[in-house]
Amino acid sequence: MRRIPPYQTFKFKITALLVLMVMLASVLVGGASLVVAEREMRAVIGNQEMATLAGAAAYLDRDISSKQQVLRVLAEGLQATPVPHGQVQAQLEQRSGLRDEFANVAALDRHGQLIANLQDRRMVGKLNSHGRQFFRDTLAVRDSVVSAPFRSVLTGRPVVAVTQPVLGAAGAIDYVLVGTIDLQRPAFAGQLQALRGHASGKLFIVAADGTTVYHPDPTRLLAREAPGSLAHAALSGPDGWRVDLQDQGRATMLAHTRLKRVDWTIALAMPLQDVFAGMDGVRLRALGTAALAALLAGLLGWWLMRAMLAPLYQLYGRVLALGRAEGDVEQFNSARRDEFGQLSRAFYQVSRQHQTAERNLQRLATTDPLTGAHNRRMFDEFFPQALKRAIRAGQQIGLAVLDIDHFKDINDNHGHQAGDAVLVQFADRLRQAVRSTDTVARIAGDEFVIVFEHLDAAHDVNLLGEKVVAAMKAPFNVNGKALEVTASIGIALTTELPADVEKVMLAADQALYCVKAAGRNGFAVNCVGAERMLSVRDFGAPAKADKKPTWPSSRL
Ligand SMILES: Nc1nc2c(ncn2[C@@H]2O[C@H](COP(=O)(O)OP(=O)(O)OP(=O)(O)O)[C@@H](O)[C@H]2O)c(=O)[nH]1
């Protein structure tokens, strides 16, 4: 039988299906978990960034607030003991702590004229800041203001200014103290840099008008941010974080919050790829786990399939053995309660039906349908073998050829059906007359044969002929009518003959011919017996009962 390629086997297909299903399930579950985890992680990271920014904003608010406080305390001191404008410079220089707090502290009279400058007293009188917005605002609100960032004329560095008006005795503004904060001073930049969190994070501060207050790239300081930039995005939305922005072609997470003391927004931008770098590893591990699970499932599936399909392979082996006539169909009558048991029992039933049909066919092929006796075909197969068996066993075998006398007349006078009924009864009587080991066959219309087996040498062969003749003595019952039926019988014996089928049959035929020639209704063992029978009839024995042959057999 043709061998199935391994990849076409049911086992392989089920295993492949199992592997695919496990992989699919792993990918689906893993993928869904990753999506959820990623979303959760975004929220966690976003909230972390917001907390960082809140800390940074609080730090800046405190810083500016403390600087305003320093100036306020200074202003209150100067108000308590008013000094002429010319001595303000000396007052400032006496407060050594001011240099730690500010890049520079200056004083402007009500017209914006520089009346004191801590960093460089030579500038006094040479500068007027009347046009500066923070100066005008301070005069307008009569209180401390924080300026927009600008480049200091005095230091050339980007700064913001914190102001504090000093009031005169009449309550009017006498002069304005201006403390500048260097936006590039290392302490300020260092603090903000430390707050940016992720290495690739970019922390920046932008004023409400779009001017950059702080940026890790010094060239961006004081620059106006264009619409579409991250700074613009931070200014345009409420405090919070988002992941839908691009920065230099890279998806970016932006968190931003407004300061309380000044109208600044502090923001932190980070490439999403860096934020979720850990997720790539998780993704890879999830994939690896899925592949490993699929492999294990495949191996387990293969092993399970082998174990589960073992009964099927056993069944297959039994069918093959049965095909080689090595097995018994009974072994398929399985008691298993599963599908394999069902299949085996179904095969068993079909095989049994097949066997029965075969036997019926065999029987039909070897049986005469009218009389139920064996037919010519069976006799032709059987007799040569019976002859051989008898010769091997050193036994005699007798072959009787029988012909119903004047059967044509029965047909003609009583009808064909009556003829059939005679044939059936004739066969029945023959079977009852002989032993069960003897074989009766109908070989032509009204011609029968009997094979007598297991005859020992001393057996009186005449008894065989007598038995058959006696069996036909009683009238036949045909449609309620009694009918006298006789037969002519020619018998041949093997011990007297060479073991040759043709010759045995010829001898029996010759004996039959002799009986017929002698007037029918009797038997002869070979020809001599027929002659004796003829002589009996010649002696005038008209009644059927008188025709019983009592003579000994002769030899050819
Ligand atoms: N009813 C019936 N008749 C059959 C059957 N087969 C053959 N016959 C008839 O049997 C008759 C046989 O006749 P024969 O053997 O020639 O002659 P017979 O009348 O027996 O004459 P003898 O043998 O010389 O006594 C024929 O008429 C056949 O048609 C059958 O199955 N049924």
Q: Whose CA is nearest to atom 31 of ligand 1?
A: 445
Average pLDDT, the chain: 85
pLDDT-derived band of residue 56, with 50, 70 and 90 as boundaries? confident
3-state SS, 253-316, equals EEEEEECCCCCEEEEEEEEHHHHCHHHHHHHHHHHHHHHHHHHHHHHHHHHHHHHHHHHHHHHH
Residue bearing tokens 């003595």: 473
Task: Give the mean pLDDT of 187-193.
Answer: 75
**Residues linked to residue 107 through DSSP beta bridges, in sequence order:** 116, 177
Band the pLDDT of 556: cuts 50, 70, 90. very low
pLDDT of residue 199: 67
Sorted by where each starts, the structural domains of the chain and their CATH numbers stand as: 82-182 (3.30.450.20), 367-547 (3.30.70.270)
The closest residue, in CA terms, to atom 13 on ligand 1 is 408
Residue 424 has pLDDT above 90, yes or no: yes
- CA of 405 from ligand 1 middle (Å) equals 9
Contacting residues for 460 by C-beta, under 8 A, at least 6 apart: none
Q: For residue 536, what pLDDT is reported?
A: 34
Is the pLDDT at 374 greater than 50? The verdict is: yes
Lowest-confidence pick of 147-151, 320-324, 479-483, 537-541: 537-541
416 CB near ligand 1 (under 6 Å): yes
pLDDT reading at 542 higher than 60: no
Number of other CB atoms surrounding residue 274 within 10 Å: 15
Task: Give dist(CA 502, CA 507) in Å, integer.
Answer: 9
pTM attached to this predicted model: 0.51
Average pLDDT over residues 228-256: 89
**What's the pLDDT at 190?**
77
If you average pLDDT over residues 168-192, what whole number do you get? 86
Q: Exactly one of 405, 446, 500, 538 is catalytic; which is it?
A: 446
Q: Which residue has the higher pLDDT, 181 or 185?
A: 181
pLDDT class of 458 with cuts at 50, 70, 90: low
Q: How far is the CA of 369 from the centre of ligand 1 (A)?
A: 17
Distance 443 CA to ligand 1 centre (A): 12
446 is catalytic: yes
pLDDT of 499 > 70? The answer is: no
Query: Could you give the C-alpha distances from 418 to 411, 423, 425, in angstroms and in order?
Result: 7, 9, 11
Alpha-carbon Rg for the chain, nearest whole angstrom, is 65
Strands 522-525 and 487-493: parallel
Residue positions counted in the chain: 556
For 81-117, what is each residue's pLDDT tens digit? 889 999 999 999 999 889 989 999 999 999 999 999 9
pLDDT digits (tens, 9 = 90+) for 311-354: 888 888 989 998 888 888 898 998 888 888 889 999 999 999 99
Judge whether 34 and 283 are in contact, CB under 8 Å.
yes
Residue 495 reports pLDDT greater than 70: no
